[in-house]
A and B are shown apart, each in its own frame.
Chain A
Amino acid sequence: METLQNLIFGFQVTLQPINLFYCLIGVLIGTLIGVLPGIGPVGAMSLLLPATFHVSPVGAVIMLSGIYYGAQYGGSTTSILVNIPGEASSVVTCLDGYQMARQGRAGPALGIAAFGSFIAATLAIIGLIFMASPLSNGALGFGPPEYCTLMCVGLVVLTFLAQGSMYKGLMMALFGLLISYIGLDLFNAKPRFTFGAQELQEGVGIVPLVMGLFGISEILLNLEQPLRREIYKAKIKGLFPTFQDWMDAKGAILRGSLVGFFLGILPGGGAVLASFASYAIEKKFSKYPEKFGTGVIEGVAAPEAANNAAAQASFIPLLSLGIPPNVVMALLFGGLLIHGIQPGPLLIQKHPDLFWGVVASMYVGNMMLLALNLPLIGMWVRVLKIPYHLLFPLILLLCIIGVYSVNNSTFDIYLMVLFGVIGYFMQKFDFEPAPLALAYVLGPMLEVSLRQSLIMSEGSFLIFIHRPIPLVSLLLIVGLLIAQIFSYWRKKRHVPGASALGTI
């Protein structure tokens, strides 16, 4: 049981008071950063990177990691409370989480998010310990063709998310794809759809898009109610998840963890994909799919479990291969480099204290986060009790600060307002913002990997069939579509008037 010995060693490293201290600071800052929309973990980590120069390597990595997964916990808080996703992977949490908050059930939503995240992280850490090596090698096997088909699967799954008409959901997804093309073409540096604006050369940016589409438009919609009307039901129905909630959510948490863990290993977009894949799975296998989107606890538990499992899993490629799977991990990578540590295949051998210390600290950190977030639930619920006409300027300000702090650019503020207006009108006409935002995230990866694959295969589409993973993905897509159409015909046969029903 060499692994057990290593683990004990790791805990010895982590439980040193100084490292515990760094862990605590990390998760505290991470939570705060996650709660403040816009200033994501990247911003926080970069603010603290200079500070980590003066700290031991183990301590630095523990702190930076703490910030990373702490932010995941915090990000769900704003998604639930004010419908503003802290990160792309929290978008799906808004769907049901915010509705639960409106119904006075913010407490249970936050609670199940916290507990679900903790359970998912624990499971993911166990997975990390035992499966790091084979999994990361598997992740390497994902090249452009694999990504391309995976994104296609994602797009299909995305449309299942729509609560209303799937047709409109698909239109939103396509629209999201179009918006994602804005910027410089990777292959020949030609500006696309930028209308000459220098600021658009990098594209629209996920933060202005999401803040506008979800945050601003929600406020604009809410302002239509007479000002004294409750946006959030004042009667709070309990602070913690009930037994019934737990019964309902337990499956969602487990399935979400599984999905999140495996997808999180994939560099780039794994967490986002995991969040809505797990949601779609829950919806598909639920006895009451039409209730998803109105405030169903599984709709919060699944994506939260998924994105936390993914956050932990994304350490795997970094620690075992030296490949940072996303911007945040790249920052961590930099932090390690400063201390003269090369993450890579030799990391475990050369710096076992670092590797196992970090693994153990993940567990400790998650425990700290749970202990931190649960009491805060009472506080958050209290915040929601502030009358909306005093609350909304605060929310608007947070949105503005969040969006501005990404690039220090007022252009982003204008973009956010624009998307707020678009989102407002969209929702007036019964279109949902979630598929748009999610397609926006998937779009670039899909297009880039498609074109890369075609370069690799010199124009042949057979590359997608000759390799195992794309082939499986394509078959999966076909299978999903067939299953969808099949379930329609069944519905139609049982209920003759089914064509008048909206939901899928």
Chain B
Amino acid sequence: MRGRKLEVRQVAGVLAIVPILLSVAAPNAMAVTEVRFLQAVPGAPDAQLELRSDRGPAEALPAAGFAKETGYGEIPAGNVTLTLSAGDQRLARTSERLEDGGRYTAVAVPGGDAAQLRIYRDGAARASTARWRMVHAAPEIDAAEAVFDGRGAGMLDPGDATDYEPVEPGPHRLALRNPKGEGPLVQDSDVALVAGTAQSAYVLGSGGEPTRFVVLEDDAATPTAAPDTGLGGLSQQPEGGNPWLAVLAAALLAGTLGGVLHARCGHGRA
């Protein structure tokens, strides 16, 4: 009976501690998501993207001009409102559910009154492999075919993206061509697809700007920890010299003294 009471108390104690531990751990385990901004509205002024999550404070990314991208900003995952503005003028707004651990690129393209935002989830890198995709972000160009090293890689309507494809790292030829036409709408013969990365080739342009590819790194395969390349031998050395030199010098001195004494003793006996 007494043992049973003790067990009940122990269980109750554990149950009481669990919420306390969870409340301590919760702030450290906050779900976050990362977003960057690519400005793909030809002729538009520099624009700034503000990210506001329903679970935390807002984050404003730096302003970016046409064909420029920002770095990733970090905000709490959840329902996020993305607002694009240039100075006091709001250009576009959209809401999206952004997942914990996800990385996204918000692309401003021509549309609506001034611009519209499209959100693409960025893929993960794999070690030793180059992964790539093409994103059609030039709405003035109709549906076209993505071409990789001379072969078709899928039809793209404006706003579409191909799936990520693993390829041999190195320089490659990318193009977007009209399936009915002869020549490519845009091409780049020397796009470096890098080992251990995932990359997106965005097709931007028209509206007075030449059509082009903007290739961005979406992710890189990286160790999570910093390399440990020191064992402390330098820090244990006394200032001003190598200890082995001292050991050798002492041994030589001892040997010399011993030798001299030995020789003298020998002479004495002789």
Asked if A and B bind, the verdict is: no
Binding site for A on B (CB under 8 A): none
* Residue positions of A touching B, CB distance < 8 A: none
